[in-house]
Structure 1
Amino acid sequence: MLANIYIRNFRSIKEIVFPIKNGLNVIVGSNGSGKTNILHALKFLSNIVTSGASLAMAKAGGPSRNFRRGENSIEFSVHYVLDHSLFKGKQATFFLFWDVVVSQSEEGGFVHVRKEVVRIVALSSEGKEDVLKAEVTRTSAGAVRPKFEIVSEDLITKRLFESSYWVGSSFKKSEVVSTVSEKFQEVLQEAKKGAQDASFIAQASFCHANFRRFFRDISSLDEYNISPDVARQAVDPLPVVRMGPDGGGVSEVVGALENRQFSRIRRGGAPYPGTTYYYAHHWSEYSSPLGQKNNPLPVILEHVQAAIPSIDSIGTQIDPSSGRRFVVFGCGGSLFRPQEMSDGTFKWLCLLVALLVPTTRVVLLEEPENFMHPWMQQRFISLARQQASSDNTSVVLSTHSVTVLNSLVVDELRVVHQVDGETVMNSVENKEEIERILSESTFGLGDIWISGEFGGVTGGF
């Protein structure tokens, strides 16, 4: 996903902008700098779409934990490249601007979406101009005020909205523009009658194919902080399987691959509130379809064997007493249960599942290096970069590991500091000088970081 995400007033964050790109997006900083808050803010934004602002707030720990001190609103603004087409007869780049403000009412403490704005903006040689603007504002008294604007059809081409679900291929330009206008106003009227904590982005995304892609990305964003103890646990078989944020359920994913039950590995859900919509797992858009010729289990085994050569198979068994499934590892003709395998082995397995059996195009990982040997850390970064390139995905991770940083290039890194109690995130300063040192020495980026050259190190550097 290529997007700039602005975050305001979330925990220790007063205002930062996170430019997420396809590939690796690595956050480094000292303890207490706010790295985790950045990851949690992104997941909070995703949960607003899928669960509503109230439940998103509850999942993140409640208002007292998430509103920045002294503030009663959290704001997000996302800028996303939508299309390239003509505007006023000249070539222009069209951007999606999505703003959402979550507030807590003074009476009753109800968490709601106070304001949400969807804009399509044209940027050309003549400057920046709104093409479409849809807005819903909710007042403290409970009033809901929708607003919609769209430019004259003479200023745009039919092509801008030809990928909309709302229009047909035979529509004339005037019909395209009028239909999009009518449908957007219907969306806003539904939002006016709907839940106070709901976003209307799911319905608005029907106007453009790349808008729908962005919606699927932001709504299906997955966050992992793997716990080997949880990953070891046997779980009940379910019709639809996926690995949980802590690694729970990895045995069910491995079991589905082992038994070639590929259709079970999907994540379906509904934007809040709404009808069922499979927003996350569109294999045609994320990677090649799973199947007999594209089963990732042998590739997972290959990477596990590279780290632990004594392992010759990975599978699952059902506990006859509980009916629950657990992972087993084959070593020299013997099978070993989860409790007999190391923390690092289970962490490695879960990270491989997260990368090679994706349910989303944006993956958040909190300190993936924990429990893992330095060799595994290097291999993980190489594999994450490879998968992100082949599947056009984004991997966002926080780290404290010199080994991880030594495997990066400068453009993949963001440095987090805390200044006067505020989380600040920047690109690496002195980029040219750092790259010169890297090219002329045997130092890695992690070696330079731990020396305090560009900050983000515990100890005051």
Structure 2
Amino acid sequence: MKLRRIRLRNWKSFKDTVVELNDGLNVLVGPNASGKTNLLEAFKFLKKALGDITSPYAPHLEWWSYRNIVYGNDETKPITFELEFECPENYKATYEVAFTNIEQMVRPIQETINLHGVAMISREGDILRVVKEKQFIEEHINTVREYIIHRVKRHGIKIEDITRGTETVILEKIPISILPTLSSFDIIAPIVYRDLAVENKIALTDIRTREMVFTLNGQRTRATRINLISPYLEDKNDSLFQYVTRNIRRFFRGVSFIRHPDMGKVREPSIMAGFPDTPSERGETLNLLIARMFLSGALPERIENALKNLFPDFAIQIKPTADGRVFLSVTDKLNGAEIHPPSIPDGFYKLLHILTAVESKPSVLCIDELENSLHSEVLEYVVHELKNSGVLCLVATHSPVVVDVAGLESLLLVERTPEGSVVKRVENLEQVRRWMKEKGLTPSEMWLYGLQ
């Protein structure tokens, strides 16, 4: 699934803002304190809240309190995020979640998964509402008739009964401990479980174990399951709704947020105690990520090419310390010197930090202050890599080089207003380009002088 837009309400400096996202690179530009980092940190918060869930549940602790992440410090207001995804077969899915302050702790009080034209499930407190689109079932029943006919007959059900009624089902007193987030479970009851309205029952399946963990009466049970929905996805008999719920959680887990590396920690040898899948925010795991690449056979082509183009005299390797830790070592082929971490340039580490993040294939890559420690030639190369990476990237910058290389179509203009931070695209793009060409202006000059 591809993220197409995000709406933020009452998040830090954003009162109510919609951000339209392009495939590939999106560059946030604006004055200091305009809200660029706040937008990036929204994704960071969502990963903590919905992706990498920990116990105790406290995704807000990095910001100290709910007061510090809600718009205007107004703790009576909920923080709401609405994300719109593009799905297979031209379907559109929306996930909305609202957080509030409960006894000085942040909790998701309401969430909705809406697969437009198919089904919608929403939870508010301990009440679950299930709405299915009868028209969708009717339109697809002939497509799947042969696939399900023997299953339907086995249970004495007529196909016509499947589409009759049950457009809306409301279930109360769903245990929150079982349902921390809707995207934690395959919730497909309105489509694949029989007699939902008659028995007033819903079954939840734990994604990790595939075990039925809950029904309305709280007893573990084996519900009768009838697979109804095509198309087949990834050669599985998953319904489209299953695909969406599973990938929403996967999306949040896959968020990567990086800043300029903490050079003190990056230069310290790392303990070989397992290999991380993604880079840490400040690059503390960089040594281990590079070590894993070498153990797998070679550096990825993207990193090899960057070193050849930008640092042709440098060759890198991973070396052990006497106590079994590992560190990055560079051989300078120009003079034969071996360079250890205290003398490796900051920009070299920054380049590797960014490229290893891209190689981890995140669902969205957020980079704050991309330009720090990078020479203009290296910076230009990195921007081209991000544009062509196939990864959704959000980059905050103050660099004219980034703006010019990215182009007007990639810019997200962020500014403060009396109604909070707002984000907008360059309007009338082709007209602006023609005018710039006539005046001999670059995109960065347009931005710096406030001509757009």
Counterpart selection for 2:113 from 114, 118, 121 = 118
Aligned to 1:226: 260
C-alpha distance 200-405 of structure 1, shift in aligned 2 (>3 A): same
Deviation at 1:46, TM superposition (A): 2.5
Name the structure 2 match of 1:87: none
Contact 2:411–2:425 under 8 Å retained in 1: yes
Q: Which residue does the alignment assign to 2:175?
A: 193
**Alpha-carbon distance, 1:82 to partner:** 2.9
Aligned to 2:303: 300
Report the counterpart of residue 63 of structure 1 in structure 2.
66
Of 386, 393, 396, the residue aligned with 1:395 is 393
Indicate whether 1:26 and 2:27 are aligned. yes
In the TM superposition, what are the counterparts of 1:9-408 in structure 2 within 5 Å? 9-52=10-53, 54-69=57-72, 70=74, 71-84=76-89, 94-105=91-102, 108-122=103-117, 131-138=118-125, 144-152=126-134, 155-158=138-141, 192-195=174-177, 198-204=180-186, 207-229=241-263, 230-241=265-276, 242-260=278-296, 295-297=298-300, 299-311=302-314, 313-320=315-322, 322-332=323-333, 333-355=336-358, 357-388=359-390, 393-408=391-406
Deviation readout 1:170-225 (Å, 9 max, x if unpaired): 7679879969x99x989x88x92233992111314773435533432233111000
Identity within the alignment, %: 18
Count of residues in Structure 1 that have an aligned counterpart in Structure 2: 383
* Distance change >3 Å, CA 159–CA 82, structure 1 → 2: farther
Deviation at 1:21, TM superposition (A): 3.0
Structure 1, unpaired ranges of 5+: 85-92, 123-130, 139-143, 261-291, 455-461
C-alpha change, 1:343 and 1:174, in structure 2 (3 Å) is farther
> Do the aligned partners of residues 177 and 208 (structure 1) sit closer, same or farther apart at CA in structure 2, a change above 3 Å counting?
farther
Cα separation, 2, equivalents of 1:177 and 1:445: 60
Once the 2 structures are TM-superposed, how far is the Cα of residue 422 of structure 1 from its aligned partner? 1.2
Farther-moved stretch of structure 1 (244-253 vs 52-61): 52-61
TM norm structure 1: 0.74
TM-aligned CA distance change 1:419 to 1:331, over 3 Å = same
Alignment match, 2:407: 409
Helix, strand or coil for the counterpart of 1:243? Answer: coil
Instruction: Decide whether aligned partners of structure 1 residues 175 and 339 sit closer, same or farther in structure 2, where only a CA change above 3 A counts.
Output: farther
Contact residue 256 and residue 279 of structure 2 kept, 8 A: no
- Taking the aligned partners of 1:369 and 1:345, their CA distance within structure 2 comes to 13
By how many angstroms is 1:414 displaced?
0.6
Q: CA deviation at 1:52?
A: 4.8
SS in 1 for 2:185: helix
Q: Which one has a bigger Cα radius of gyration? A: 2
Deviation of 1:24 after TM superposition, in Å, equals 0.5
- Distance change (3 Å), C-alpha of 1:210 and 1:118: closer
